[in-house]
Homo-oligomer: A and B are copies of this chain.
Amino acid sequence: MSDTAVIDTEQSERAYEIDGTLIDAVLDAVEAGDRDTLVQLLEPFHAADIADLYEQINPKERSAFTVLWGADFDGEVLAEIDEGLLDNVIEDLPDEVVSDAVRDMDTDDVVDLIEDLDEPQQERILDALNTPDRVAVEQALQYPEDSAGRLMQRELVMAPTHWTVGQTIDYLRKESDLPDQFYDVVMVDPRLTPVGKVPLSGLMSAARKTKMSEIMDEEFRTIPVMQSQEDVAYAFNQYNMVSAPVVDEDDRLVGVITMDDAMEVLEEHAEEDIKRLAGVGDESLIDNIWSTTGRRFPWLAVNLATSILASIVIAQFAETIEAVVALAVLMPIVASMGGNAGTQTLTVAVRAIATKDLTAANALRIVRRELFVGLFNGFIFALIIGLVGYYWYGSVMLGVVLGIAMVGNLVVAGLAGILIPIGLDKAGVDPALASGAFVTTVTDIVGFFAFLGLAAVLLL
């Protein structure tokens, strides 16, 4: 089963990346005010790529670009663009372009758009909609921001269970107001409670006279309208769902969520975890210098506070350090190893909590594992660093102190790395957000205290 060919990574690196020369050509056209060239350049591109192009150019260029493109603006770009840019782009667009764009969208996309806008632009969008769509959007906005209700679309295809395949197909052929894309027919009882689902592929391959109730899949999942979007995404991923009916508290069908929406949420949440672990919030590449400085400040401030705490610990041993200056040279090693080991454990823990793999049922086993991993790696690195310390400064006792402090700090790192995220999660705090600061505070303080404290006792 050996590989017979290799992926061409050089080509692969470039796949789907916007070509720099395209960007230059677009900017040239914008500067020259040459609208025909601009329209022609953009013609072959997908809205998502044009949205990416927006992120690659600077704010002044963005505005000039939007204004020049104007009447030919591809409305779908609005659904794809970074939310931070949306307000300005819509402000720069003529009313009729915004109206046309919004009228073509499914309600879930309109809701997604409006969520990210300021009041005046929200009004412009709502005014552009026809009454039923406006009501649908306003209803969706009544649901909490992070709920299934905000994610679902109202447009869906449902049928009563007594229909045949032929009746359903005839209905679909007649009905003009179908969703842009749909994958299932939701079967409902007279109270509008979903009782089954018929995937289009099933509908397609059955004879016309077949009863829908015969081919319907009764093992389907409904999504409660108040469920969190994170749980919705988890369910789609866990159960390989393509679309799912959404129901209200009375179990009545109110909408449908499709996999593309769930995929977006899933990706957003993984992205959020990565960034929160590094203390950069929901920063993006389009943020300017000021907002980036502001977003990174809080985490650096927390880190300053914790490193001052660590310094206070060191200050208690000033005399010891004055007596043996080697301690100052070696002490950052112990603290740094603890910080890294702690980060390893907490990253695994944070992701396992997010994917619901770390539960009350296996927490004890995992804590035990971390304890032993800390011990074993602690012993190995204690031996290495002990020898380094001994050779460097010719003192056996210094090596012993380094070694003991290393074992201690790696064990503490493992335990802090698992117990702090579990504790934060239980307390209702996002473990991705706060674990890092707590864990490194613990490993810094324990690292410096164990090393310098032992040195004070054993070396002086």
A contact set with B: CB distance below 8 Å: 1, 3-9, 12, 15-18, 20, 23-24, 46, 48-49, 52, 55-58, 114, 122, 141-147, 169, 172-173, 175, 178-179, 181-183, 199-201, 203-207, 226-228, 230-231, 234-240, 242, 259-260, 263-264, 266-267, 270-271, 273-275, 277-280, 283, 285, 288-289, 292-293, 296-297, 299-301, 303-304, 307-308, 310-311, 314-315, 318, 321-322, 325-333, 335-337, 340-341, 343-344, 346-348, 351-352, 356-362, 365-366, 369, 372-373, 376-377, 380-381, 384-385, 388, 428, 444, 448
Known: A15-B227, A48-B239, A173-B206. 13 other contacts (CB 8 A): A9-B228, A16-B238, A17-B359, A57-B362, A172-B205, A240-B260, A267-B267, A275-B348, A279-B343, A304-B384, A307-B337, A308-B333, A314-B332
A227 to chain B, nearest CB (A): 7
Closest to A388 in B: B308
25 A-B pairs, CB-CB below 8 angstroms? A7-B144, A7-B226, A7-B227, A12-B228, A16-B235, A16-B238, A16-B356, A18-B359, A52-B357, A200-B200, A200-B204, A237-B263, A237-B267, A242-B242, A263-B266, A270-B274, A277-B278, A279-B340, A280-B347, A293-B372, A293-B376, A303-B340, A307-B337, A318-B328, A328-B331
| A182 and B201 contact, CB distance less than 8 A | yes
| B226 and A199 contact, CB distance less than 8 A | no
Assuming the contacts A147-B7, A263-B259, A307-B336, asked whether A181 and B204 have C-beta atoms less than 8 A apart, the reply is no
Closest to A168 in B: B204
In-complex Cβ contact of A318 among B236, B289, B325, B385 (8 A)? B325
What chain B residues lie within 8 Å of A260 (beta carbons)?
Answer: 240, 242, 259
Closest to A362 in B: B56
| A205 and B173 contact, CB distance less than 8 A | yes
Q: Which 5 A-B pairs have the closest CB atoms?
A: A278-B347, A328-B328, A270-B270, A200-B200, A307-B336
What chain B residues lie within 8 Å of A6 (beta carbons)?
Answer: 144
Closest to A312 in B: B329
What chain B residues lie within 8 Å of A341 (beta carbons)?
Answer: 296, 300
